[in-house]
Chains A and B, each alone.
Chain A
Amino acid sequence: MHAVAEVPSFASVAERHLDDVHAYLVYLTRDRGIAEDLTAETFERALRLWRRFDPRRGSARTWLCQLARTVALDHFRAEDRRRRREGAYAAADREPPEEGLFGGLSPELERALAALSAGEREVIALRVLLDLDGETAARVLGISVTACSTRLSRALKKLEERMSADVAA
């Protein structure tokens, strides 16, 4: 007979993982304001779906990151539609990131991180910043563990190259 896993209260889960979810969304969106809005939306959605959370299938942090990713992708889709409607391009919309966006890193590293794609930044956020293991990160991203490792490796390599180029310049 399976023991029923203890389900913590939603409030305690939200309090414990707010920073992680927010950090992940900052990396993903490269915009603190949007990340804050999406974080709030993630927790709203999490509250609605809290009954579906099963601790036996993964930690609350993983579940929240999955939700945050869905919320962010919805946002990206809406933005994409808006840009198409307005005839603008993503590149034209891009503004330089605000200072200290990624938690007070050096300006070169912040620039290098901001220059990466959202997909590359999110794998760094999950594997490095939130320190998720490969399997959990892969589950959040909906890809295989190998693909996740490859993506991380490429992202770090690109980051390193950008940093070197920046220093050389």
Chain B
Amino acid sequence: MSQPELLDRIRSARITASPELRARVRAITAATPVASPPRREVPWRRWTLVLVPACLAVALVGALAVGLATSGKQRTQQARGGAGSTTGGFSSEAQRDTATPAAPPSAKAGGGAGLPTTPGRAQLYESELTLKVKSLSAATKRALRLTRSFDGYVRTVEYGSGAERGSAYLVLRVPVGSVQEAIVRFSALGEIIDQHVSIQDVQPQLDRRFRAMQTLRDAIARLQARLASPTLSADERKALENELVASRRQLLELQREQVRLQRQTSFATVSIALRSTAEAVAVPSDPGRIGRALDRSGSILLDEVKVVVYVLVVGAPLLALAALVLGGSHLRRRRTESRLLSTS
């Protein structure tokens, strides 16, 4: 018998379900709920097509938002610090209780860790760094970026031009808590030529002022008590009131000074002189808020990429293992099916 004949005979044969089976299936279908719309199953490829751009968009928007928010904070801090962009040089605090001599010239980069601040004491911290850098522009930009990353602000930027080509001078204010790390990072910008660190302990000054304020508060309380007495003559009252006004004014003045000094001690001043033998390049301008936001967003995006790469590097072996296990189990299943179908 030829194959076409065989096929014809097989096709012509009809296998029909018995009435019992038909009844069984009808009984099953009798429980059929009202035809509901099919569940919309989205294939994984479509999910990937949607999820990947969505994740990228979230990462981008997140970076931009954080960048914008951080750039705003930077400006607020700068305003609070009262730093004008062109006011010159160091603050003029005179007496210095301690002054550290310069580090040996030609100290190599990485050696400029600075001196540690004493926790719990108010200190005016100033550091001066002279660095030799390869690219003045890049080093200046990096120094500005580092300052922002430490939540500090720029007090002065002088970028060399004319006779001063090839040098830049920056005065930066960095939170005291981060100053040591900041100095280490600044030192890495180039080769250290010169370094000075100066720490002025102003805690006694603060304590003295605090005691004076307490004395004034006591005096004010006593004056108020005496003024409450009904036996005072008009002249006596007038004199006491004048004394009270003067004491209050004095207290206010002391409080202002105290706050100003405390604010000063919360930031360290880092002066960086950058020198380059190469020709000066484009002058880096103090970026506006958009510039800062974009700069910050770039850093955040870079961090996000690092995290993704890290996750991929760490997760890749696990993913490969999972793929192997899945593939193996799939293969095993297919083999079992094949065996079952060949023996049944």
Q: Are A73 and B32 in contact (CB under 8 A)?
A: no
Please tell me if A40 contacts chain B, counting CB pairs below 8 Å: yes
Q: Which residue of B lies closest to A9 (CB)?
A: B35
B32 contact from A10, A77, A117, A119, Cβ within 8 A: A10
Instruction: Find chain A residues with CB under 8 A from B35 CB.
Output: 7-10
Closest CB in chain A relative to B148 CB, distance in Å: 49
Given A9-B35, A102-B13, A117–B344 Cβ distance below 8 Å? yes
Instruction: Find chain A residues with CB under 8 A from B341 CB.
Output: 73, 76, 117-119, 122
Closest CB in chain A relative to B35 CB, distance in Å: 5
Instruction: Find chain B residues with CB under 8 A from A128 CB.
Output: 7, 10-11
Please tell me if B3 contacts chain A, counting CB pairs below 8 Å: yes
Complex Cα–Cα for A106 and B18 (A): 21
Q: Are B3 and A156 in contact (CB under 8 A)?
A: yes
Please tell me if B52 contacts chain A, counting CB pairs below 8 Å: no
Interface string of A25-42 (1 = CB under 8 A from B): 010111000001001100
Complex Cα–Cα for A28 and B343 (A): 11
A-contacting 9-mer, from B19-27, B268-276, B295-303, B313-321: B19-27
Q: Which residue of B lies closest to A143 (CB)?
A: B334
Count chain B residues whose beta carbon lies closer than 8 angstroms to a beta carbon of A.
Answer: 40
Instruction: Find chain B residues with CB under 8 A from A53 CB.
Output: 38
Task: Place the interface of chain A in its size category.
Answer: 35 or more
Please tell me if A105 contacts chain B, counting CB pairs below 8 Å: yes
Instruction: Find chain A residues with CB under 8 A from B39 CB.
Output: 51-52, 54
Instruction: Find chain A residues with CB under 8 A from B253 CB.
Output: none
Given A19-B17, A77-B340, A160–B25 Cβ distance below 8 Å? no
Instruction: Find chain B residues with CB under 8 A from A15 CB.
Output: 26, 29
Q: Which residue of B lies closest to A21 (CB)?
A: B17
Instruction: Find chain A residues with CB under 8 A from B15 CB.
Output: 19, 22-23, 26, 102-103, 129
B6 contact from A18, A40, A54, A160, Cβ within 8 A: A160
Complex Cα–Cα for A8 and B1 (A): 42
Please tell me if B234 contacts chain A, counting CB pairs below 8 Å: no
Q: Are B41 and A7 in contact (CB under 8 A)?
A: no
Complex Cα–Cα for A80 and B341 (A): 11
Closest CB in chain A relative to B43 CB, distance in Å: 9
Please tell me if B28 contacts chain A, counting CB pairs below 8 Å: yes
Closest CB in chain B relative to A95 CB, distance in Å: 13
B29 contact from A43, A54, A55, A105, Cβ within 8 A: A43
A163 contact from B1, B16, B32, Cβ within 8 A: B1
Q: Which residue of A lies closest to B336 (CB)?
A: A77
Please tell me if A131 contacts chain B, counting CB pairs below 8 Å: yes
A129 contact from B10, B28, B38, B334, Cβ within 8 A: B10
Please tell me if B91 contacts chain A, counting CB pairs below 8 Å: no
B342 contact from A55, A119, A157, Cβ within 8 A: A119
Please tell me if B233 contacts chain A, counting CB pairs below 8 Å: no
Q: Are B3 and A54 in contact (CB under 8 A)?
A: no
Closest CB in chain A relative to B228 CB, distance in Å: 85
Complex Cα–Cα for A29 and B343 (A): 11
Please tell me if A169 contacts chain B, counting CB pairs below 8 Å: no
Please tell me if B14 contacts chain A, counting CB pairs below 8 Å: yes
Q: Which residue of B lies closest to A55 (CB)?
A: B38
Q: Are A43 and B340 in contact (CB under 8 A)?
A: no
Instruction: Find chain B residues with CB under 8 A from A51 CB.
Output: 36, 38-39
Q: Are B340 and A76 in contact (CB under 8 A)?
A: yes
Given A9-B35, A54-B41, A105–B17 Cβ distance below 8 Å? no
Q: Are B340 and A11 in contact (CB under 8 A)?
A: no
Please tell me if A14 contacts chain B, counting CB pairs below 8 Å: yes
15 pairs, CB–CB < 8 Å, chain A vs chain B: A7-B38, A9-B35, A19-B16, A36-B21, A39-B25, A47-B28, A47-B29, A47-B32, A80-B343, A104-B13, A109-B9, A117-B344, A119-B341, A159-B6, A163-B1
Give B residues with C-beta under 8 Å from A.
1-3, 6-7, 9-11, 13-18, 20-22, 24-26, 28-32, 35-39, 41, 334, 336-338, 340-344
Give A residues with C-beta under 8 Å from B.
4-5, 7-11, 14-15, 18-19, 22-23, 26, 28-30, 36, 39-40, 43-44, 47, 50-55, 73, 76-77, 79-80, 90, 102-106, 109, 113, 117-119, 122, 124, 128-129, 131, 142, 156-157, 159-160, 163-164, 167
Having A103-B14, A160-B1, one finds 11 other A-B pairs with CB under 8 Å, namely A22-B21, A36-B21, A39-B17, A39-B21, A40-B28, A47-B29, A54-B39, A106-B9, A117-B341, A128-B10, A160-B6
